[in-house]
Amino acid sequence: MPTARADKQRDLLDGALRVFARDGYSRASIDAIAEAAGVSTRTIYNHYGDKAGLFKAVILDSATRVADHEIALADRLLAHIVDLQTDLVAFGLAWSAHDPATADHFALVRQIQADSAHIDGEILGAWQEAGPVRVRGAVAAHLKAHAAAGLLHINDENIAALQLIQLTAGSVMAAPGARPERIIRAGVDTFLAAYQPSTSYS
């Protein structure tokens, strides 16, 4: 039995991601997606039934892949700490340096958040679990380990992870125009002021 020819499936998900990310669900046309992916429109319907089915598949696929990428990043940069400030800044910079590959994903995330009133709740939940929650958990695990080693004073590692992300990548996204490095350094300083034992005791 012939398996999927070449990697039409991969091409389709990639092209659909690009178009959905730029245009949103409503504006994105099946024709535009088919052309961007180098696939016939009929193939889309054969595989995913309708536009909504394709959208769902794109969301889950992209969220899973990017989360894997980010977790790998955290494992690489946060596993062995030499200097907390230096390493956290490096992590924040890598996180914020959306290579073009992940740029489409984050544009899709904005589309999802804007369109959430029209997206099935189960899909939203599955996306949160496959993406943001999983990543936050991975960062939280690293922070907890360093807390156990005495590098940090942490009550709730999940909140600490959330705050670290908000102070770095979150702040960079909220203030377009400002230089990311400046924002991230300031964010790490604030984070360490709150959580580094030698500086603060909460």
Partner DNA sequence: CATTAATTGCAATGAGCGTTGTACTTCGGC
Partner DNA sequence: GCCGAAGTACAACGCTCATTGCAATTAATG
Give contact residues for a copy of itself (rule: CB under 8 A).
22-24, 26-27, 107, 110-111, 113-115, 117-118, 128, 132, 136, 156, 159, 162-163, 165-167, 170-171, 174-176, 182-183, 186-187, 189-191, 193-195, 199-200, 202
Question: Do 21 and 108 form a contact (C-beta atoms < 8 A)?
Answer: yes
Closest contact distance (angstroms) between CB of 162 and a copy of itself is 6
H-type helices in the chain, by residue range? 8-27, 30-37, 41-48, 51-78, 84-96, 100-114, 121-128, 134-148, 157-165, 171-174, 180-195
Partner whose footprint covers residue 126, from a copy of itself, DNA, none (CB < 5 to 8 Å by kind): none
Q: How far apart are CA 138 and CA 129, in angstroms?
A: 12
SS3 at position 90: helix
User: Among 20, 22, 24, 46, which residue interacts with DNA (rule: CB under 7 A)?
Assistant: 46
User: Among 13, 17, 21, 39, which residue interacts with DNA (rule: CB under 7 A)?
Assistant: 39
Closest contact distance (angstroms) between CB of 46 and a copy of itself is 26
Question: Do 118 and 135 form a contact (C-beta atoms < 8 A)?
Answer: no
User: Among 13, 14, 15, 51, which residue interacts with DNA (rule: CB under 7 A)?
Assistant: 51
Q: How far apart are CA 88 and CA 107, in angstroms?
A: 25
Q: How far apart are CA 177 and CA 173, in angstroms?
A: 9
Of the listed pieces 6-14, 75-83, 122-130, 148-156, which binds DNA according to CB under 7 A?
6-14
Partner whose footprint covers residue 57, from a copy of itself, DNA, none (CB < 5 to 8 Å by kind): none
Q: How far apart are CA 91 and CA 166, in angstroms?
A: 13
Does residue 117 belong to the site contacting DNA (CB under 7 A)? no
Of the listed pieces 26-34, 153-161, 165-173, 194-202, which binds DNA according to CB under 7 A?
26-34
Q: How far apart are CA 39 and CA 35, in angstroms?
A: 6
Structure tokens at 196: 């580094």
Partner whose footprint covers residue 91, from a copy of itself, DNA, none (CB < 5 to 8 Å by kind): none
Residues engaged in binding DNA (CB under 7 A) = 1-6, 8-9, 27-32, 38-43, 45-47, 49-52
